[in-house]
Amino acid sequence: MTDPFQDVDSTDSEFVAIVVAALESRAAEDHMIPIVEQYLDRLNWLDGATHIEVGAGTGPIARRMAARANSGRIIAIDPSEKLIVSARELADDLSNIEFEVGDGSALRFAAGSIDSVVMHTVLSHVPEPKILLIEAMRVLKAGGKLVICDADFEKSFLGNFEGDPLNACAKYFVQNFVTQPYLISNIRRIATSVGFKIDEFRVDSRTITDTDGGLGWIKMGTKQMVERGLIGEELADALASEYIRRKEDGVLYGHQPFGTLVATKPE
C-alpha cells in the first residue's frame, strides 16, 4: 500500500485536518521540544544565512528555526500544497520565513548556496531517502549542516496490556502510513555513503502520556480501516474515545524512540 503521506494532496479534507492536528500536537509535546532545540543548537545561525527545511508540513519546526535566524531567512518546503496553506496561516506573523511547494529530491537552489538543511520526520515517508540526502549535499555550502530527525517507527508502542486495541492501531499505522520504519537503524550508513561527516547521532524517548500525540495514529488508521470495510464507524469512534479516556484518567501510555543525526558537508 502507498504511504498516504507521499501524496497528502490526494486525500480528503478530513485526513488533512487530522494530519495538521497531529503535526502541531507532536511538535508542542514536552518530550519533543528539547529534541528539536538540541539539534537547532548545533546549527550556525549566522547573519544573512539561508536555512531550509525539507518536508516542513505545517511548519512547526520552521517556525522555531525562524525564531533563531537573526537576519537570516528560513525557506520551508513541502510537496503538499494543502499543508503549505496551513503552514502559511500558522506563521502569519513571521517575516523571515517563506513557505513553498517543492520536492526534496529536486531543490531549486544553486549548488553550495545553503547554510543548513533540516529534515524532520520526512525521510520515513519517502521511497529512497538517499536521493534527498544527495540533493542536500549538492545545495549545502562546504561546512554546512544537515539535520535528520525522525521516529524509529518500528519500535512505536501504544498500549497498556497484551492485545491492546490501541497498540493494534499503532501497528496498523506503521504498516500503512510509514514507508521506512527502519530508517533510524540505517540513517548513519546512508548519510556517510553520500559523503557527510557525522557530528552526532542520538536517540531520545518520546513518551505519550498526557497529549494527543498518538491520537493521530488512531484517527488516521481507523479512518482507513472504515474506508476499506474492515471496521465500522462505531468502533473507530470508540477507539478514539478510549484514547481520550485514558489521557483524561492519567493511564495513557505510548512510547516512540526519536533519532537525530547532525552531519557536516566536508570542506
* % the chain with pLDDT above 70: 100
Confidence bin at 32 (pLDDT 50/70/90): very high
Residue 163 lies in a domain: no
Residue 245 lies in a domain: no
Report the domain count for the chain.
1
| Domain that includes residue 17, residue range | 4-153+180-209+258-264
Residue 225 lies in a domain: no
Please compute the mean of the pLDDT values over residues 8-18 and round it to a whole number. Answer: 94
What pLDDT, on the 0 to 100 scale, is given for residue 2? 81
Residue 103 lies in a domain: yes
Residue 153 clears pLDDT 90, i.e. is over it: yes
- Structure confidence by residue, pLDDT tens digits, 72-90: 999 999 999 999 999 999 9
- Structure confidence by residue, pLDDT tens digits, 166-185: 999 999 999 999 999 999 99
Q: What is the dihedral of CA 109, 113, 118, 119, to 10 degrees?
A: 40
Q: Where is average pLDDT lowest: 6-10, 120-124, 133-137, 259-263?
A: 6-10
Residue 174 lies in a domain: no
Residue 41 lies in a domain: yes
Q: How far apart are CA 222 and CA 227, in angstroms?
A: 8
Contact (Cβ atoms closer than 8 angstroms) between residue 156 and residue 166? no
At 140, which CATH number?
Answer: 3.40.50.150
For the chain, give the mean pLDDT. 96
Contacts of 59 (CB under 8 A, 6+ apart): 53, 76, 86, 87, 88, 90, 91, 97, 99
What pLDDT, on the 0 to 100 scale, is given for residue 116? 98
Residue 175 lies in a domain: no
What pLDDT, on the 0 to 100 scale, is given for residue 1? 59
Residue 59 lies in a domain: yes
3-state secondary structure of 195: coil
